[in-house]
A and B are shown apart, each in its own frame.
Chain A
Amino acid sequence: MKNRDADIVLEVRNVSTQYGNVVIHKNLNLQVRRGEIVALVGGSGSGKTTLLRHIVGLTEPTSGSILLFGKDLHSLDRIEKQHLMNRFGMLFQQGALFSALSVFDNIAFLLRELKQFDEPTIRKLVMHKLALVELEPQHADLLPAQLSGGMVKRVGLARALALEPELLMLDEPTAGLDPDRSKKFVELIKHLKQSLGLTVLFVTHDLDTLVSLADRVAVLADKRIITACSLQELASIEHPFIVNFFHGVSNRLEKAK
């Protein structure tokens, strides 16, 4: 049992969120184990992004706690907090690249922040990250405004991976990509998960992404996680949202076979 606890990378405990009179989460619980790819799904406005923002420490829940690698972000001092935050990477929906910095500088940003590497080593590491996300070295000098949507996502991913995080969080990783690109992006994430030993938590609306990427699905409805199980197990759950949702999933599972 103790061994299992050590394997839990992320634990959300009894989290409730309330803005004014609007209750968004009520006693929400979620666990993510090492090496898993967990999808967070739910209807529009069900509070998926809010939960993700809680997890990465941008906002704080009204009550309850969130443990990343067994520690609560908000109880740590500044240095410890930064160390903990360096252990996960986040890919924002729109990429959130620093618009005034080139692709190279965007990826090198955190590596320089560490102050442990000299410039040639940083260069090598950035090129390695660019190669990981299958971008060409000549893209390094472009500015974010010159990139296409798919490239922005790739650069965002490379930046999230710069410090070799254990946990990767993706907010709508394939939103705004055409089916072909989104398929390639999913393949890329899967490949990286294998080679870098990542744990991945992602929010998505896209069923294709969900079916091809997720090991486990956490369904956010009725202000809490109503279930967190594999796609196949979803079929046996009687809940209006899941029944509706699973219809689309089962079609795709059939096709995948």
Chain B
Amino acid sequence: MGAASFNIDQDAQGRKFIRLAGQWSLRAIENDFGELKNSLSPFFSDPFVHWDLQQVEQLDAAGAAILLSGWGNKVSTLVTLQPEQVELFDTLLNLSTSPINKLQYDWLSPLEGLGLRLLAFIQHLKDFIQLLGLLLIEVGYLIKRPQDFPWREFSANVYKSGVTALPVTALLGFMIGVAMAYLMARQLRVFGADIFIVNIMGLAIIRELGPVLMAVLVAGRSGSAMTAQIGVMRVTEEIDALTTMGISRILRVILPKVLGLTFIAPFLVLWTSFWAISGGALSSNIELGIGFKFFFDYLPSVVLPVNLTLSLIKGVLFGFVVTLVACHFGLRIKPNTESLSTSTTSSVVTSIVSVILVDAWFAIATRDIGV
């Protein structure tokens, strides 16, 4: 058996014959149908050429389809076939090929896209509020039956999204504290206002940076993990299995995540802020010669304690927003890989955006407190 080939004959009456030979099939790996089609194309356009397929050893659908497309989707009377080839060509010709929908540009499509987006957003909002309501119902149920509280899942979530996040939040907080204090120290020295580094670092980190840093890190780390986990549980029907066992999916899957992260988030904020301020103190010590003891003695007198309370409230709020958004997107995942990846991305992006929006609102609402 050999690769597909053809030769050209002319008989006494001057009629042109194309004789195909070899294996006209994908099984012969030497075949390149693209090239074969190109080299045959001058004969395809000639309506008086005779085609002889009787020496072909094997013809499969691919070979036949190439020939058919050359012949313009018909087998003319000038083609000589073997009986089983006739059958193959007949099958191919009788296939109901629905016409390919040609994409035509519609001038209204941007408007339509905008409308669809708006509808999708409203749908998201509806689902989100529904999730919030379901959570409230579960909380109500738990108040009636406190013994049903999912303690194991709760503590697992506290550990997974809180305790294992300690090293990375500490490292990030410390590095940012060092970098910020270093840059600020150089500016302040110009004015001889060295001492204000404590005010700036204390207020900026405790009030703003600590909570936001924590939220961004947790959204990237735990939020994405939650979305993916809930999504895969939906795909593998684990959530349905839970429901058929008479166990509420909200109570067992969503609530422990929401409560766990909301509970641990203020502690993470404290932890992150502590390391960021330590980094700042180190930088001030090296750049401005401010002693550690002085730095930490002076800090409470320039940053009012109420700022710490605000920071903890922000921690609770951000933790809640991040998990709620993560669970919301997790529950929307459809059973395919594409949906899993888009939902996880949207979850992280949306939670970071919402955290910053909430932060802005919070800054306006508390503008008279503690500064």
Contact = CB atoms under 8 A, between A and B. Distances in A.
A55 interface: no
Residue with the greatest number of chain A CB neighbours at <10 A, chosen from B35, B61, B338: B61
A184 B32 CA distance: 36
Contact of A164 (B61, B100, B337): B61
Given A120-B69, A137-B96, A125 B337 contact: no
Given A121-B66, A128-B65, A164 B335 contact: no
Contacts of B65: 117, 121, 124-125, 128
Interface of A: 83, 86-87, 98-100, 111, 114-121, 123-125, 127-129, 131, 137-138, 143-145, 163-166
Interface residues of B, number: 28
A129 to B, nearest CB: 8
Residue with the greatest number of chain B CB neighbours at <10 A, chosen from A115, A121, A123, A143: A121
A167 B351 CA distance: 50
Contacts of B34: 115-117
Interface of B: 25-27, 29, 31-35, 60-62, 65-66, 68-69, 91-92, 95-98, 100, 334-338
A134 to B, nearest CB: 13
A124 B97 contact: yes
B144 to A, nearest CB: 39
A243 to B, nearest CB: 39
A100 B62 contact: no
Given A99-B338, A116-B32, A127 B97 contact: yes
Given A117-B33, A118-B69, A121-B65, A128 B95 contact: yes
Given A124-B65, A137-B96, A86 B335 contact: no
Contacts of B95: 124, 127-128, 131, 137
B119 to A, nearest CB: 22
A145 B333 CA distance: 12
B222 to A, nearest CB: 26
Nearest to B334: A145
Contacts of A116: 31-35
A128 B92 contact: yes
Nearest to B61: A128
B336 A145 contact: yes
B47 to A, nearest CB: 21
B26 A163 contact: yes
A117 B66 contact: yes
A116 B28 CA distance: 14
A142 B34 CA distance: 29
B100 A125 contact: no
Given A116-B35, A124-B68, 4 more contacts: A99-B337, A120-B100, A128-B61, A138-B98
Contacts of A87: 27, 29
Contacts of A124: 65, 68-69, 92, 95, 97
Contact of B62 (A117, A127, A166): A117
Contacts of B69: 118, 120-121, 124
B29 A83 contact: yes
Contacts of A100: 336-338
